[in-house]
Amino acid sequence: MFDSLSDRLGGVFDRLRGRGALTEADVRTAMREVRVALLEADVALPVARSFVDKATEAAIGQDVLRSVTPGQQVVKIVHDTLVDMLGPDTAELDIAVTPPAVVMLVGLQGSGKTTTTAKLAKLLSGRERKKVLMASLDVNRPAAQEQLAVLGQQVEVATLPIVAGQQPVDIARRALQAAKLQGFDVLMLDTAGRLHVDQALMDEMKAVSDIARPNETLLVVDSLTGQDAVNVATSFSEQVPLTGVVLTRMDGDARGGAALSMRAVTGKPIKFAGVGEKLDAIEPFHPKRVAGRILGMGDVVSLVERAAESIQAEDAERIANRMAKGQFDMNDLRAQLQQMRRMGGLGALAGMIPGMKKAQAAMASGAVDEKILLRMDAMITSMTPKERAKPELLNAKRKIRVAKGSGTTVQDVNKLLKMHQEMSTAMKKLKKMGGLKGMMAMLG
Ligand code: GDP
């Protein structure tokens, strides 16, 4: 997600951070580069323009330029402006009403509407224990209703029985009645899509909306279509009262333009992001986390949440403290390796830690699997406590001893040391950025 934008902005910020003092001209130059990066990411022009105006004003207007860490302050301003643009908080579904709450999904054909209907139904029936009924109103696409029925079986959610030949408004009426009579908490309506926005589609949607009076009308858009997604959103939001947006295929979206423009263009929050074809591949959209990810500050909140699930609390605190101090020895590496085995892979973890992209690449190229993790553990076990605390003690002779002790080669030991070195550098970088706590404060 957002990789290319993230790289571009990372370059701009590295140049900023590299200088001690900043002049107004430096900030303006950097902001021009930010604007280019946003446009390359396919952010809508007016959105990019207003973004840069706001961020520039904030950066020049405050005492930023005279502060001790002007580069860092500018990054924070860009971060805050991003959060502002994406919407300040995670927007929940408004379904706490007298049941049944009606959630209507609208969008173009192929945007992922039917899949998203099933994903949301699964989410609501599983985690939130709601009794959910799904109904497809798509009478245009052959087998659309059957597709939803199949997905319903997969996620174990009820679907409205199909009555051949029935029209959308009548299906909506029947679905509503069934939901009321059978005590469903939530009714999800998957409406018909079209290849393009046209009046017939809009009229049908309005007619259904009048009957069903949805609590949520979610527009489903394919994030990969960039500017087109923005145009589609504009047309829909002019015609139906949307309550939110679901962006699909975020798993393949390296540019992020649709995600970044959507709120500004529709005035409605992105509520969920589809992140894969599987039926559990959907996530609530967290603007702060996304902004953090885009700025290469890592998805620290997600990291901490996931880590908390698998590490003992005191362990987590100890590691966080050491990370904050920029310390990272072989014992920490070993603790990390053990967690990784529990947390399901190093790649995912490393991607979430600021500045860890390089280390992540190094590990990916070494294809870290269970066996390699165990071998690394054996090498660390073969070190003396002193060597573990100060890996630089490991000269040629000591390396041979460690290799022998762990049934590996000196080359393996060197690889381990290199990996430790890279992670340690990443930790120091993290410290420079104000440590984990500072980062958390920044992410809000
Ligand atoms: P509809 O015509 O709008 O109902 O679209 P569908 O729900 O049938 O989805 C079209 C295709 O997109 C299907 O193959 C889905 O598996 C796929 N799809 C939907 N959402 C996502 C997503 O978030 N990520 C990925 N990679 N594929 C998705």
Q: What is the pLDDT of residues 375-429, one digit of tens each?
A: 888 999 899 999 998 999 999 999 999 999 999 999 999 989 988 887 777 666 6
Helix, strand, coil shares, percent, the chain, to 5: 65, 10, 30
Q: What is the pLDDT of residues 240-293, one digit of tens each?
A: 899 999 999 988 877 788 888 998 888 899 999 999 999 999 999 988 878 877
Alpha carbons 46 and 296: distance in angstroms, whole number: 24
pLDDT of residue 433: 53
Confidence of residue 308 (pLDDT cuts 50, 70, 90): very low
- Distance in Å, CA 108 to ligand 1 centroid: 11
For 3-86, give the CATH class: mainly alpha
Residue 271, helix vs strand vs coil: strand
Nearest residue (by CA) to ligand 1, atom 5, is: 112
**pLDDT surpasses 90 at 147:** yes
Using CB distances shorter than 6 Å, the residues near ligand 1 are 107, 109-115, 193, 248-249, 251-252, 274-277, 281
For 300-443, give the CATH class: mainly alpha
Mutate to test the pocket of ligand 1, among 141, 277, 280 (most ligand atoms within 8 A of CB): 277
The Cβ of residue 110 has, within 10 Å, a number of other Cβ atoms equal to 13
Q: Which atom of ligand 1 is nearest to the CA of 111?
A: 3
Q: Which atom of ligand 1 is nearest to the CA of 107?
A: 3
Annotated binding site for GTP: 107-114, 190-194, 248-251
Alpha carbons 250 and 259: distance in angstroms, whole number: 9
- Distance in Å, CA 170 to ligand 1 centroid: 26
Nearest residue (by CA) to ligand 1, atom 20, is: 112
The mean per-residue pLDDT over the stretch 49-57 comes to: 93
Annotated binding site: 107-114, 190-194, 248-251
207's CB contacts (< 8 A; 6+ apart) are: 168, 169
Give the dihedral of Cα atoms 113, 115, 116, 121; nearest 10 deg. 130
**pLDDT surpasses 70 at 215:** yes
**pLDDT surpasses 50 at 366:** no
Domain limits, the chain: 3-86, 101-289, 300-443
- DSSP-assigned letter for residue 234: H
pLDDT of residue 219: 95
- Distance in Å, CA 194 to ligand 1 centroid: 15
User: 251, 190, 199, 200: which is closest to 222 by C-alpha?
Assistant: 251
**pLDDT surpasses 90 at 157:** yes
**pLDDT surpasses 60 at 444:** no
Nearest residue (by CA) to ligand 1, atom 27, is: 277
410, two tokens: 């000196």
Alpha carbons 123 and 86: distance in angstroms, whole number: 23
pLDDT of residue 443: 39
Burial group, residue 25, by CB count within 10 angstroms (0-12, 13-18, 19+): exposed
Nearest residue (by CA) to ligand 1, atom 14, is: 277
- Distance in Å, CA 113 to ligand 1 centroid: 7
pLDDT of residue 341: 61
Nearest residue (by CA) to ligand 1, atom 9, is: 112
Q: Tokens 């990372």 — which residue?
A: 10
Mutate to test the pocket of ligand 1, among 104, 114, 115, 137 (most ligand atoms within 8 A of CB): 115
Confidence of residue 23 (pLDDT cuts 50, 70, 90): confident
Q: Which atom of ligand 1 is nearest to the CA of 276?
A: 24
Alpha carbons 314 and 285: distance in angstroms, whole number: 30
Percent over 70 (pLDDT), the chain = 79
For 101-289, give the CATH class: alpha beta
- Distance in Å, CA 364 to ligand 1 centroid: 29
- DSSP-assigned letter for residue 278: S
Nearest residue (by CA) to ligand 1, atom 16, is: 277
- Distance in Å, CA 150 to ligand 1 centroid: 14
User: 381, 372, 382, 420: which is closest to 404 by C-alpha?
Assistant: 382
Average pLDDT, the chain: 82
- Distance in Å, CA 305 to ligand 1 centroid: 28
Choose the weakest-confidence range: 225-229, 285-289, 314-318. 314-318
Confidence of residue 73 (pLDDT cuts 50, 70, 90): confident
Q: Which atom of ligand 1 is nearest to the CA of 274?
A: 23
- Distance in Å, CA 198 to ligand 1 centroid: 21
Q: In 87-220, where does DSSP find H-type helix? A: 113-126, 144-155, 168-181, 199-212
pLDDT of residue 319: 63
User: 237, 239, 306, 249: which is closest to 275 by C-alpha?
Assistant: 249
- Distance in Å, CA 396 to ligand 1 centroid: 55
Contact 103, 95 (CB under 8 A): yes
Q: Please give the ipTM for the structure prediction.
A: 0.98
